Amino acid sequence: MSEAIVISPAHPHDRTDIVQLWMLCGLVRPYNPPEHDFDFARGRDGSDILVLRLSGEVIGAVMVGHDGHRGWIYYLAVDPGHQRQGHGERLVRAAEQWLLDHHVRKCQLMVRETNVGVVGFYDRLGYERSPVTVMQRWLDGTEVS
């Protein structure tokens, strides 16, 4: 008997499990409080958190959103004990479908320089490197070293 895989929008009560998963996967930075990111993105017109459950257990999640023109994937995480089983691709495809359902034709993502190991994963899924420079400015005075 195979285990049931379900991908659906996250609920408020999933917050702790998903934040712990993001932390376990090394996606959290001190200057981006993940609880705020979860609350800010979940269940909005322009964003959501999708959660992958295996027999009811949270083993993966992804944040997806758009600005009306470009779609974005953030915080893609699969529990290390369940990686390399196709769950990451399932989450990426679910995020892409969410964007298509919201009439967004282009999906983008950023990979931190310290996370180069994941680039091959996205290459295999058909993602291409973009010839762009990403620039930023913190509007709230946050200093990041």
Q: Which domains does the chain possess?
A: 5-124 (3.40.630.30)
Q: What separation in angstroms does the CA of 38 have from each of 10, 59, 74, 81, 122?
A: 9, 16, 11, 23, 23
Query: What pTM does this model have?
Result: 0.91
Region 11-30: mean pLDDT is 96
- For 33, the token pair is 């409080």
Residue 63 forms beta bridges with which residues?
A: 49, 74
| Residue 23 backbone class (left: φ over 0; alpha: ψ -120 to 50; beta: rest) | alpha
Q: Give me the pLDDT at residue 79, please.
A: 98
Name the pLDDT band for 2 (thresholds 50, 70, 90).
low
Angle between helices 15-24 and 34-41 (to 10 degrees): 130
The C-alpha atoms of residue 6 and residue 143 are separated, in whole angstroms, by 39
Provide the residue type at 86 as one letter: G
Three-state DSSP class for 39? helix
Name the pLDDT band for 117 (thresholds 50, 70, 90).
confident
How many CA atoms lie less than 13 Å away from 112 in the CB half-sphere? 9
The H or E element that residue 53 is part of is strand 47-54
Q: Contact, 66 vs 47, CB < 8 A?
A: yes
